Structure 1
Amino acid sequence: MSTSVVLEKVEKRYGAFDVIHGIDLNIEPGEFVVFVGPSGCGKSTLLRMIAGLEEISGGALLLDRERMNEVAPAKRGIAMVFQSYALYPHMSVYKNLAFGLETAGYKRAEIEPRVRRAAGILQIEKLLERKPKQLSGGQRQRVAIGRAIVREPRIFLFDEPLSNLDAELRVQMRVEISRLHRSLGNTMIYVTHDQVEAMTMADKIVVLNAGRIEQVGAPLELYNHPVNRFVAGFIGSPKMNFLNARLEASDGEGTVMSVGGNTVRLPRRLKAGAPGDTVTFGIRPEHLVAEREAWIALGTVNVDLVENLGGATMLYTTTPDGQALTVALDGQQDVQRGANLKVYFDPARCHVFAADGIAI
């Protein structure tokens, strides 16, 4: 059974220090929601407040419209998976999965099918008699997730569960957690600082910064339409290019600006700004190309470094006015370090941010 989660002006204070500032958020039943943001932004604190491991200083937490502020963690119907596996080293995998149910007073006849079901979902049936020291990192993480599954919770909470895994295992576990969500259908809230995890796993992403929500939306909504420079810079890999620019003119046909030592005309008007304003021009590396005159010329750049990745070629360049610009070209391109390269951009893919960081 899926559960809705509603935060109404939720606050968290440690003495006189505010860390969560009046957050409002609505999570629909069965959604996979990812909290993402830099270290210290409050995402883990918010997750722990939902779990009941941190008191709520102000506002309300509602699960299926029922206020949970004063409800004990064990009675909220929530299971949490932490960054640390925290497995009992002297117990078998089976005992690790069953232990929480045993301490909660469940009988063996109830525990057995739950453990077998969780093991089947996670494909660890053949590991039930092993000890944690005999498992790989990915297998240990599956066991940690299995301990949450056997509780049959209303909501799953994940606090950076893949941080201890190597790159290959992280990709594999991302797929498995997404598959688990489709299989179980429970509401899941997942915390990570890795925006690639957020983009690939989430139905909805919540971008946090300094205890406040910057933007909430589907992954591609945030990628294509960031509301400010912070979201634009945090979502997307490689990171969006930001170039200092100046508005020169605006009329019914478009906007003229100086950017990267060149004059660029955009075929659309901005939502705000006046000639003479200092702004930031944003363009993602993958939205820059070489020699496509149907697009708008950003200018000629000097290539400082070339990274040939096989499926893509990364160019680290410098604009005529000395600003850094990363260009991601498809496939294997014959570009040499030190070369001068004329680059173009799709006007539908560029972004302009006012001095306060708001997208205009």
Structure 2
Amino acid sequence: MATSVVLQKVEKRYGAMDVIHGIDLTIDPGEFVVFVGPSGCGKSTLLRMIAGLEEISGGALLLDSERMNEVAPAKRGIAMVFQSYALYPHMSVYKNLAFGLETAGYKKADIQPKVKRAAEILQIEKLLERKPKALSGGQRQRVAIGRAIVREPRIFLFDEPLSNLDAELRVQMRVEISRLHRQLGNTMIYVTHDQVEAMTMADKIVVLNSGRIEQVGAPLDLYNNPANRFVAGFIGSPKMNFLKARIEQVGEAETSIHVCGNFVHLPRRLNGEAGQEVTFGIRPEHLSLAGGAIALSTVNVDLVENLGGATMLYTTTPDSQLLTVALDGQQKVERGTNVKTFFDPVRCHVFDAAGKTI
């Protein structure tokens, strides 16, 4: 049975320094939730508070409506997978998987089927007699996850578990952890600074910044409708372009803005006023060279990256702002040339001076 997690005004402070500022969050049973944000935003601290490895300074943590603030970590029914594999080098894979159950007093006859099931789920049955030094990084991480599975926890917590793996293995392990979630159905909370991991794995993303939640939502909700400039810049790869702009005129159904030396008419009313300095946001993949609903600017191509499946253009606008353009497929664009860029107005974003979407 999957478990719900509720944080009510949760705070964390070290002496006089506040690091988590009154967080409210509800995680539904069986959800795969990803905490994402830059280094130092508080995502790992929040995860450790849920696990019971950090004391909660204020507010309440509820698991299935039961307050957990004072409950010991071992009694919360939570298993945690860390960035470090932390396997016992002198033990076989089987012993590494079984050790936690042995120390908890389980009988050998009860341990065997649990280890066997975890090994089957993770497809490491043939590795059970090996020592950790004979395993690849991906295999070691599977064993670390297996140690969590054998405990049959209510909730799985992952603290940047793929950071030590190379790029190809990270992709493979993302797929495997997602498959594991579908197979087990447990509530899972996953911490990462990699927004690609967040976008590809999560049912729900929690974007954190300086100990506060900036936005919570499904991956594509955050991608398409960011609440502010921070979320817009953090979600999506390559990063959204941000251009200095000014509102010229606000009408009932249209707003005119000045950006990149041009006047651009957006077919919607912005919550701003004439003369207001704003930031115009457009994702590189939402720009084109072949004509679109609205022309943005003629830009100078500084660098072309041909990636096979995509072509990246790094350009400079007439007012010396940087603009990245992501084109599908293999495009013949020469460095040093001028190209005209177009965009779909439905895809653009406008932010006020405080960074809020308007």
TM-score by length of 1: 0.99
1-structure distance, mates of 2:346, 2:264: 14
Match of 2:318 among 292, 298, 320: 320
Residue aligned with 1:100, SS? helix
* CA positional deviation for 1:260: 1.1
Could you report, residue by residue, the CA deviation over 1:261-314 in whole angstroms, capped at 9, with x for unpaired residues? 1111101111x211100000000000000021x410001000000000011100
Q: Helix, strand or coil: the match of 2:105?
A: coil
Map residues 251-262 of structure 1 onto 2, 5 A cutoff.
251-262=251-262
Partners of 1:255 and 1:274 in 2: how far apart?
Answer: 9
Secondary structure at 1:334 match in 2: coil
Q: Return 161-170 or 258-267, whichever deviates more.
A: 258-267
Distance 1:337 1:42 in 2: 42
Q: Match for residue 289 of structure 2?
A: 290
Q: CA deviation at 1:24?
A: 0.1
Match of 2:277 in 1: 278
Q: Report the equivalent of 1:131.
A: 131
Matched, 1:299 2:297: yes
Q: Secondary structure at the match of 2:237?
A: coil
- Please, which of 319, 332, 335 is the counterpart of residue 333 of structure 2? 335
Q: Is the partner of 2:24 in helix, strand or coil?
A: strand
Matches within 5 A, 1:38-117: 38-117=38-117
Task: Tell me the CA shift for residue 253 of structure 1.
Answer: 3.1
Distance in 1, matches of 2:273 and 2:99, equals 65
SS at match of 1:264: strand
After superposition, what is the alpha-carbon deviation per residue over 1:186-224, rounded to whole angstroms, capped at 9, x for unaligned? 000000000000000000000000000000000000000
Please list every run of at least 4 consecutive aligned residues from structure 1 whose deviation after the TM superposition is greater than 4 angstroms: none
- 2:308 aligns to what? 310
Q: In structure 2, what residue type is equivalent to 1:331?
A: G
Instruction: Please tell me the residue identity of whatever aligns with 1:191.
Output: V
Whichever residue aligns with residue 257 of structure 2, its letter is M
Structure 2 match to 1:142: 142
Alignment partner of 2:314: what SS? strand
Count matched residues: 358
Q: Matched residues in 2 for 1:109 and 1:175: separation?
A: 32
Q: Is the 8 A contact 2:250 2:272 kept in 1?
A: no
- Give the 3-state SS of the residue equivalent to 1:230 in structure 2: helix
Contact 2:300–2:339, Cα closer than 8 Å, also in 1: yes
Structure 2's unaligned 5+ residue stretches are: none
Q: Which amino acid aligns with 2:324?
A: T
1:181-196 map, 5 Å: 181-196=181-196
> Which residue in the other structure is 1:245 paired with?
245
Deviation at 1:245, TM superposition (A): 0.2
Paired position in structure 2 for 1:28: 28
Q: Per-residue displacement from partner, 1:30-65 (whole Å, max 9, x unpaired)?
A: 000000000000000000000000000000000000
RMSD of aligned C-alpha atoms?
A: 0.5
Please list, as runs of the form range in 1=range in 2, the aligned pairs for 1:231-242 lying within 5 A after superposition: 231-242=231-242
Partners of 1:95 and 1:334 in 2: CA distance: 57
Q: For residue 203 of structure 2, what is the amino acid of its counterpart?
A: D
> What code does the residue aligned with 2:349 have?
H
Structure 1 Cα separation of the partners of residues 207 and 250 of structure 2: 32
Deviations 1:96-146 (A, max 9, x none): 000000000000011000000000000000000000000000000000000
The 2-side partners of 1:193 and 1:70 are apart by 29
User: Identity percentage over the alignment?
Assistant: 84
Secondary structure in 1 matching 2:179? helix
- Residue 182 of structure 1: SS of its match in structure 2? helix
Counterparts of 1:321 and 1:291, CA distance in 2: 22
Structure 1: runs of 5+ lacking an equivalent:
none
Q: C-alpha separation between the residues in 1 aligned to 2:93 and 2:100?
A: 12
Distance (Å, rounded) in 1 between the aligned partners of 2:88 and 2:324: 47
Aligned counterparts of 2:129 and 2:161: Cα–Cα separation in 1: 23
Amino acid aligned to 1:110: D
Rounded to whole Å, the distance in 2 between the matches of 1:273 and 1:191 is: 36
Rounded to whole Å, the distance in 1 between the matches of 2:267 and 2:318 is: 23
> AA paired with 2:90?
H
Who is 2:343 aligned against?
A: 345
CA distance in 2, matches of 1:243, 1:50: 39
Within 2, Cα distance between the matches of 1:249 and 1:163?
A: 48
Q: Distance in 1 between matches of 2:322 and 2:98?
A: 55
